[in-house]
Each structure stands twice: as structure tokens, then as C-alpha cells.
């Protein structure tokens, strides 16, 4: 049942500040909290400070207790027990430059019944521990919450009754531990932008200790929730691979440029066709022959039929095939030469992304667009997702899925016209792209239709493309 907003009588907030030697800032944090009309108690839990922190906090109007044991986690838990209100907000004792309405913004989702646990996000760039430790581990073991900007932030609000059932780590892992536990216990977790904050930075030795404790906590929770299994990690890796291949993600990671070059893969960068070689290595040539070059079939149906042929083939076989297939003479030299000339160079293929990415790295191209073969437990599932970049509203008038649509997406992203695009292809599925590009090269064209679509013909060595541009 969805929780209802708190009654007016219960719309009060307890602010808890765990503190250790924060004499320079603790008074201002307490005074800041007390100015909020929703706050009727500020609790400072002192961790044995020797610089006058508890005295300054008390003088500023806080209720001050000494922690039952050294450590931020224990201090946070002690403060929770002392709090009299159902809504609690944790603030660090070294904060400054807080916006006047931070507390209202943080607790609003809880008071309105829309959240059980709220994390703060702020404009200060993420710290090194967040970037180098927390995020990579969250992406691996808890990808569903990896998008939160500040997972280690000590500024958080929650229902007291909810937090009382969670485990408080007694080190730097406490914040991430509570965050993961909240999400895994089906809490409604929200993220609130609180603007810019100033926060004391830590020396490298402290950051190393913090990173160790954060990593240990994430791995502990991964074990607790059954996510240390190798199969789970493989599933996460597969999901991440698909997210990276999403159109918006690919476009976002291609820097803008004034010149764009698009290459087909099979028969252009590779001497042969990838699926033909894969079928040969897996003894599926006769099955593939039924669908190869069947352009009379619907593109999506044909792609799914071919993908189903390779069900159960190990991903490693796909990768090894892509690594070992001979490149066309001059392939790498041509791509590097174009990049030196200021081009962004991409592969556009109706083959598989797992292969296209390997070929991309072999020839030093910038990006690739391809169909996504789905893998489960390291083996092809037979399912496929057609390259989303090959669909474009108002794009190709002949084909729903077409390479020219990738070109249109990229031109839109780069803010360039077709006269700034070089296209290189060899087959019927390249014709639309060749016809639309400002400069087009039919490399060893397979049909007369392809030959007619290319403004230039290159045979033998792909470096002839560079010679075309020099004319």
C-alpha cells in the first residue's frame, strides 16, 4: 500500500550531525539547521573531539551526545535512537555554502509520502573515491542504482522506522551500505539536487582508507544479496554492453567534427563476410546459405533467422573470429589517414556489434553501428536487436532499416550536411548510403547497382580511398 503524506502534526524533522573535530564549521551547520521551520531538534553526536566541537555545537543550540563508540556509523545510529521525529536528516559537520532551502528540499519527498530514503546530489564534481571505486563497483554489482550522482554523500534523509531495520557500518562504508540496503529492501529511493556545496577535501592517505572501506562494503552487500556469482557479473556485463550500444549513448560519445567517414565492414574492412566465416567455423554453412543474400525477405525477419542459426555459439568464438579474419589491404592505414585528416570514422554494418567493435579497434576507427546479438552465460541466445541507429523518422524512403539513417543521425549530431560525409561500401545494402553521401566510394562493388551508386571505384587496396580525396 502506498504511504500517505504525514499529518501536519508529524511534519517535523530531526537533524543529526555526526562530528569529529569540526570546530571550524559545526556551529554554522547547527545554526543553519535550526533556521529551518521544519526542524525542531538538531542532534550533534560527538566522536570524542578534542578541539571544542561539542561545546561549540551546544552553544549554537544543538543537543549534544557523545557517541557510544568511535566511528561515523555508530554516531549515525546513536543519533537515530535519540531522534524523536519520524523524519530524520543527516548533515556532515564540515559543510558550508548550503542553499537556504536545502532541508526543505531533502525532506519534502518523505513528508509528502513519495519516498522512504533520499540522497543528495550537488554540483561539486564527484570525488575520486566515487569516480574510481564506488561507481565502477556499483555498475558491476548494483547497476540499478549506479546512476545516482553522489552515492557516497553523507547528506541524506529517511524515515526513522525504515532506517532502524538497516545495518550501519562503522566506517566510511556506512553511507553506501545504507544506500544499497535501502534499494535492495524495496525502498522508494529519491535523489534531490541541493545545488552547490563546499566540503572539506581529504588527504590521499585518508582517501585510500575510504576507498578500501567503500569497496569492502559494496562487496559485502554484493555477497549478501547473491550478486558475487560469476553468472550475475556476466549478465551485468551483457546489459552494460547493450547500454553502450544504444543510439543516444553512441552519439553522445562521438565528438563533433566537420568531416565524417562511414565504412561498411564485410568486404570493405574485412576481406570476407563475418557471418560466413563464423558459419564455417561452427559448421553451420548449409543453414546460413538458406538466408544469405535473401534481399527479398523482410530485413528484420532475415536478421532474426540468421541470428537463430548461431544459438549456443560461445561469445568467445564470435570474438576470436573477428580478431583472426584478414583485414582488407590498407584498411588500418586508410582509417588512420582519414583521422589524421580530421575525419571521424565509423563502421556501419548489418553484422554483429560484438564483431564490429573488435574490427573497429583493429583498424583504429572511432565508433561502430551494428546489430546486437544477445548472449546469456557467455553463449548466443539467438535473440537480436537491430541497430537502432538504422531507423530515422523521415529517413530512407525505401527501407525501414537502412545505413543512410545512421548517416542522418550523425549529420544531425555533428550539425553538418551530406557534402561533409564520405561513404565507402561494396554491397546492395550500402547503395542508399553511397547515393546520399557527398563523396562515395564503391570498393570492389559486388553488383552493377553498387558500382553505379559510387562516385568513385576503388579496387584492391583500400588506401585508394585516400587517393580519391587528394584528387
Cell of 104: 526543505
Q: What pTM did the predictor assign?
A: 0.64
Chain-centroid distance, C-alpha 66: 42
CB atoms within 10 A of CB 458: 23
Instruction: Specify the pLDDT at position 9.
Output: 47
Q: For residue 376, count CB atoms less than 10 angstroms from its CB and return exposed for 0-12, middle for 13-18, buried for 19 or more.
A: middle
User: Cβ contacts of residue 195 below 8 Å, gap of 6+?
Assistant: 99, 102, 122, 123
Instruction: Specify the pLDDT at position 407.
Output: 95
Domains in the chain, ordered, with CATH? 8-228 (3.90.550.10), 244-470 (3.40.50.1000)
**Inter-axis angle of helices 353-363 and 315-324, nearest 10:** 30
Instruction: Specify the pLDDT at position 470.
Output: 87
pLDDT string in tens for the chain (471-residue length):
345 555 544 789 999 999 989 999 999 999 999 999 999 999 999 988 889 999 999 999 999 999 988 888 999 999 999 999 999 999 988 887 788 899 999 999 999 999 999 999 886 544 688 888 888 999 989 999 998 988 888 899 999 999 999 999 888 899 999 999 999 999 999 999 888 765 556 666 667 888 888 888 999 899 899 888 767 767 766 777 777 777 777 887 788 889 999 999 999 999 999 999 999 999 999 999 888 877 677 888 888 999 999 999 999 999 999 999 999 999 999 999 999 999 999 999 999 999 999 999 999 999 999 999 999 888 999 989 998 899 998 888 888 899 999 999 999 999 999 999 999 999 999 999 999 999 999 999 999 999 999 999 999 999 999 999 987
Instruction: Specify the pLDDT at position 440.
Output: 97
Instruction: Specify the pLDDT at position 79.
Output: 96
User: How far apart are the C-alpha atoms of 20 and 93, rounded to whole Å?
Assistant: 8
Beta strand pairing status for 198-199 and 439-443?
unpaired
Cβ distance 179 to 151 under 8 Å? Answer: yes
Instruction: Specify the pLDDT at position 201.
Output: 61
User: How far apart are the C-alpha atoms of 47 and 275, rounded to whole Å?
Assistant: 64
User: Cβ contacts of residue 340 below 8 Å, gap of 6+?
Assistant: none
User: How far apart are the C-alpha atoms of 276 and 434, rounded to whole Å?
Assistant: 24
Residues comprising the chain, all counted: 471
Instruction: Specify the pLDDT at position 181.
Output: 95
User: How far apart are the C-alpha atoms of 59 and 64, rounded to whole Å?
Assistant: 10
Instruction: Specify the pLDDT at position 256.
Output: 83
Amino acid at each position: 500500500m502506498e504511504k500517505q503524506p504525514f499529518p501536519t502534526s508529524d511534519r517535523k524533522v530531526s537533524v543529526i550531525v555526526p562530528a569529529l573535530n569540526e570546530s571550524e564549521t559545526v556551529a554554522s551547520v547547527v545554526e543553519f539547521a535550526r533556521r529551518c521551520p521544519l526542524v525542531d531538534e538538531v542532534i550533534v553526536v560527538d566522536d570524542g573531539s578534542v578541539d571544542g566541537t561539542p561545546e561549540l555545537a551546544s552553544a549554537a543550540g544543538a543537543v549534544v551526545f557523545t557517541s557510544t563508540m568511535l566511528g561515523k556509523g555508530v554516531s549515525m545510529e546513536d543519533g537515530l535512537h535519540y531522534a524523536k521525529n519520524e523524519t530524520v536528516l543527516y548533515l556532515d559537520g564540515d559543510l558550508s555554502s548550503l542553499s537556504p532551502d536545502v532541508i526543505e528540499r531533502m525532506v519534502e519527498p518523505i513528508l509528502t509520502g513519495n519516498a522512504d530514503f533520499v540522497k543528495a546530489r550537488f554540483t561539486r564534481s564527484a570525488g575520486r573515491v566515487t569516480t574510481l571505486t564506488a561507481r565502477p563497483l556499483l555498475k558491476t554489482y548494483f547497476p540499478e542504482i549506479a546512476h545516482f550522482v553522489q552515492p557516497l554523500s553523507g547528506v541524506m534523509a529517511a524515515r526513522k522506522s525504515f532506517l532502524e531495520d538497516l545495518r550501519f557500518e562503522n566506517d566510511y562504508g556506512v553511507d553506501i551500505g545504507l544506500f544499497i540496503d535501502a534499494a535492495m529492501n524495496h525502498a522508494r529511493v529519491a535523489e534531490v539536487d541541493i545545488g552547490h556545496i563546499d566540503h572539506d577535501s581529504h588527504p590521499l592517505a585518508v582517501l585510500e582508507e575510504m576507498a578500501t572501506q567503500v569497496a569492502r562494503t559494496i562487496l559485502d552487500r554484493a555477497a549478501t544479496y547473491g550478486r558475487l556469482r560469476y553468472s550475475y557479473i556476466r549478465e551485468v556485463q551483457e546489459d552494460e554492453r547493450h547500454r553502450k550500444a544504444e543510439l543516444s549513448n553512441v552519439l553522445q560519445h562521438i565528438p563533433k567534427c566537420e568531416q565524417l567517414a562511414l565504412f561498411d565492414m564485410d568486404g570493405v574492412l574485412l576481406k570476407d563476410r563475418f557471418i560466413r566465416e563464423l558459419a564455417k567455423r561452427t559448421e553451420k554453412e548449409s543453414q546460413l546459405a538458406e538466408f544469405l543474400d535473401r534481399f527479398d525477405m523482410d530485413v528484420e525477419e532475415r536478421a532474426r533467422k540468421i541470428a537463430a542459426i548461431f544459438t549456443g555459439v560461445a561469445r568467445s568464438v564470435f570474438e576470436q573470429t573477428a580478431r583472426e579474419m584478414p583485414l582488407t589491404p590498407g584498411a588500418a592505414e586508410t582509417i588512420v589517414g582519414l583521422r589524421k585528416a580530421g575525419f571521424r570514422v565509423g563502421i556501419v554494418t548489418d553484422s554483429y556489434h560484438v564483431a564490429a567493435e573488435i574490427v573497429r579497434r583493429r583498424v583504429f576507427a572511432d565508433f561502430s553501428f551494428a546489430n546486437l546479438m544477445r548472449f546469456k552465460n557467455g553463449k548466443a541466445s539467438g535473440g537480436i536487436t537491430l541497430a537502432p541507429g538504422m531507423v530515422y523518422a523521415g529517413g530512407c524512403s525505401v527501407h525501414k532499416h537502412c545505413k543512410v539513417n545512421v548517416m542522418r543521425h550523425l549529420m544531425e549530431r555533428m550539425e553538418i550536411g551530406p557534402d561533409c560525409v564520405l561513404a565507402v561500401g561494396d554491397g546492395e545494402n550500402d547503395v542508399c548510403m553511397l547515393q546520399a553521401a557527398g563523396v562515395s566510394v564503391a570498393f570492389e562493388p559486388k553488383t552493377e547497382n553498387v558500382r553505379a551508386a559510387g562516385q568513385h571505384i576503388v579496387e584492391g587496396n583500400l588506401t585508394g580511398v585516400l587517393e580519391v580525396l587528394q584528387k
